[in-house]
Amino acid sequence: MSLIAVSRFSLFLLLMGYLAGCSGAKDTTRSHTLLSDGWKFSRSTDDTASATNFDDSGWEKVSIPHDWAITGPFDKEWDRQVVAIEQNNEKIPTEKTGRTGALPHIGTGWYRKTFTLPDFKPGKQALLVFDGAMSQPVVYLNGKQVGQWAYGYAYFYIDISKDLLPNQTNTLAVKLTNLPFSSRWYPGAGLYRKVSLIVKNPENFEQWGTFITTPKIDANSATVNIKAKTAGQNLTMSTRIEDANGTTVATFQNEQTAKDTFEQNLTVKAPHLWSPETPYLYTAVTELYANGTLKDVQSIKFGIRSVEYSAAKGFVLNGKATKFKGVCLHHDLGPLGAAINKSALRRQLTILKDLGCNAIRSSHNMPSIEQLELADEMGFLFLAESFDEWGKPKVENGYNLFFEQYAEKDVANLVRATRNHPSIVMWSAGNEVPDQYGAEGLVRAKFLQDVFHREDPTRPVTVGMDQVKQTMESGFGALLDIPGLNYRTHLYEDAHKAFPQGFILGSETASTISSRGVYKFPVEPAKDKNYPDHQCSSYDLESCVWSNLPEDDFILQDDKPWVIGEFVWTGFDYLGEPWPYDEHWPSRSSYFGISDLAGLPKDRYYLYRSRWNTQDETLHMLPHWNWEGREGQTTPVFVYTNYDSAELFVNGKSMGIQQKTKDKTPQHRYRLMWMDVKYEPGTVKVVAFDKDGKPVAQKEMKTAGKPHRIVLDPDVKTLKADGQDLSFVTVSVVDKNGIPCPTATNQMHFKVSGQGTYKAACNGDATSLEVFHLPTMKLFSGKLVVLVQSTQAAGDITLEVSADGLQTGSVGLKSVKP
């Protein structure tokens, strides 16, 4: 754009700003209201609840996001599934308890809310937007059904312009139904993601209709292409791009030429590229004018970055070959259930950053918008997934019921609602779908991939495949943009030869199982091993029949340049799928996590960290050193470290030097292991060496005495006074010398005073039936986490944690006005 054009344009903007100011910006553009407070909720099955005159005075007052099932109680009868899981090669049906979390999510739930919208006048457009509703939502406005959807993870919106009463009370009612046998994990229940109401002029930007891409990037400049769908006539669209400081770096304006689409190309000079290391975001402010009057404004964050996949270089981000150091995440937030909370998500991503993780796969469904916003801001590559099933079922009442009617719409909404997030670098059309078999499956794979391509020509599509031999023969794997292998490390070579793409993605890897702080003897690799306490050993040598240990994946990624990285199953434990105890009660959450359900790191965390986090030192020892009764018995010590060798000392006696080596087992290449150590109480010390054999780091752990004092460690001390923000306070106990007690199981009691509330607690024990929302819980392996939530008033907050016979712990937090 020439200088003259710029100054004319500025004049235009100034004039428009003046006009907008005169008539009141609120009236001239859109309004966006979050429907979060003032809802009523009931498990009622009474369909008259949709009516305006319905008496909901006895219903529970709730705010959205809300998960009606997370408060429990845990009970194995909820969604008790007597099934043979074909995927796991089971032939005979057995009782699977806890498969979906043993929480009361099955059945019907109703939400009701009344509101008036002074902004709304007939002729305006009003949209009710759901980021997800679990599940089969039926939406009523003023007693009339105005819309419905099916899949609980899908984004959708309903145009309620014709049914909204201007300047009167409107009654919104939403019915949700969760069928039994509809999930393989805990799906949550209710309006667990945000619900918003957008009111726009007749001349407007279509919902999710603007697509920003960056087709040309070099060191000096980047082209930002904006395609926007609009409604109305005699329109002008003007855009300004702001950098992260809010400074305008490019502007553009054009008149309507096509009926309902605008296209603009803007040039950003010396662009800051988005990457996990530099998550730089720009904002495009797009304005729509009709006959010179401002009618609509959107503010869309985006990143400038290029994404390529090739046989020669694999995955290339901004010209640099990059490997996915990724984790799969289910959507639940442990003790918060499925109800979205941005600070809980932020904490997860903060933990993953420290781990050195650079990518997330939203298994096996659409991610929350909040998670994508954080991935953009904090720098994570994102593999956004859609389905766990297509037409053929995995579970009787799964997505197979909706596939024919909804799959295209669900994919289109996924892409349209999220495609401006720079973090998303790949789509996934499915996970281990039974449709990997059969000619129909092939048609469905192509159909879905085409829908993704139609909606977004810039990103490739994968499917996580577990039937690898089948997909090599049928052509299923060959037709995908990205062949994703779930486990099956022994088939990577064959798949690489058979598939034409020239590279393989580890779309799901490891599924190693462990319980934080629990160690079993003898120390040996095992598959599907069961113990009487329903825990798994944290020596990280246990996996499932279909899965493997972390090193099997490390070797492939290190030795085969054509493996473009991995997504470990999973970053955090999740509710449901308590393999290998899914036939044993009690057990209601997974053992797969690198961190536990409370977000506390397991030992495995440090194994991945020693490899993924290339900035910080990792030097971690296991097991703990409190083994009363094991004196003199073999108690191997493992060290996870980024250093290649180290020497171990028990009470000052050297146990020798261990060196990472390719010549023994896969574990010897990535862990340092002293297999013959005999336990004696006291001090274990590890001294790590650099490449020249010089000692560079050391760590010690000591045998603890009896629990004496409670210690509190908050992840953040200052909260936003918005009634949502959380501090995650780790609670542990130490002996009278301050040494952590790793096996303590004391019953803790929590009290929050001041401008905060007790929200929940979690100890990461998959077998615990203590509910999260009551202010008491036992420590598990010496620890638990308490979630303290802000109120809407700023002020001081105190958390006090007490237990019989122990010195009470207390921590002061504060909340400030956002």
Q: Which residues bind ligand GAL (CB under 6 A)?
A: 364, 431-432, 466, 486, 508, 511, 544, 547, 569, 577
Strand partners, 31: 199
Strands 314-317 and 320-321: antiparallel
Q: Are 152 and 175 in contact (CB under 8 A)?
A: no
Cis link prior to 276 (omega < 30° from 0)?
A: no
Residue 493 bears catalytic tag:
no
- Closer CB to ligand GAL, residue 131 or residue 432? 432
Cβ 421 to ligand GAL shortest distance, Å: 23
CB of 533 to ligand GAL, least distance (A): 21
Minimum distance between the CB of residue 305 and ligand GAL, rounded to whole angstroms?
A: 29
Report CA-CA distances (Å) from 628 to 624, 651, 736: 11, 16, 18
Write out 171-224 in H/E/C secondary structure: EEEEEEEECCCCCCCCCCCECCCCEEEEEECCCEEEEEEEEEEEEEECCCEEEE
Identify which of residues 54 and 592 has a Cβ nearer to ligand GAL in the complex.
592
Nearer to ligand GAL, 431 or 727 (CB): 431
**Between the CA of residue 622 and those of 531, 611, 673, 705, what are the distances in Å?**
20, 17, 10, 18
Least distance (Å) between residue 462 CB and ligand GAL: 13
Cα separations in angstroms, 506 against 491, 540, 641 = 11, 20, 24
Beta carbon nearer to ligand GAL, 398 or 809: 398
The least CB distance from residue 33 to ligand GAL, in Å, is 36
Q: What is the DSSP letter of 803?
A: -
User: Measured from the CB atom, is 490 or 717 closer to ligand GAL?
Assistant: 490
C-alpha triplet 641, 647, 653: angle, nearest 5°:
140
Between 394 and 702, name the residue whose CB sits nearer to ligand GAL. 394
Dihedral sign (CA 521, 526, 530, 534): positive
* C-beta of 499 vs 569, nearer to ligand GAL: 569
How far is CA 418 from each of CA 334, 348, 424, rounded to the nearest angstrom? 25, 20, 8
Catalytic site includes residue 385: no
* Shortest Cβ 402–ligand GAL spacing (Å): 19
Give residue 532's region: left, alpha or beta (phi > 0; psi -120 to 50): alpha
Residue 806 · residue 707 · CB < 8 Å = yes
Separation of alpha carbons 496 and 513, rounded Å: 28
Catalytic residue selected from 203, 287, 455, 508: 508
Query: What 3-state DSSP class applies to 714?
Result: strand
Measured from the CB atom, the residue of 191 and 568 that comes closer to ligand GAL is 568
Residue with tokens 């010179």: 292
Residue 475 backbone zone (phi > 0: left; psi -120 to 50: alpha; other: beta): left
**Cβ of residue 433: shortest distance to ligand GAL, in angstroms?**
10
Cα radius of gyration rounded to whole Å, the chain: 28
Q: Which one is catalytic: 203, 370, 432, 566?
A: 432
Q: Which is nearer to ligand GAL, 466 or 770 (CB)?
A: 466
Q: How far is the CB of 209 from ligand GAL (least distance, A)?
A: 33
- H helix intervals, 507-549: none
In contact, 186 and 100? CB cutoff 8 Å: yes
Q: Decide: helix, strand or coil at residue 117.
A: coil
Q: Which residue is nearest to ligand GAL (CB)?
A: 511
Residue 527 CB, nearest approach to ligand GAL (Å): 12
Residue 585's SS3 state is: coil
Active site residues: 432, 508
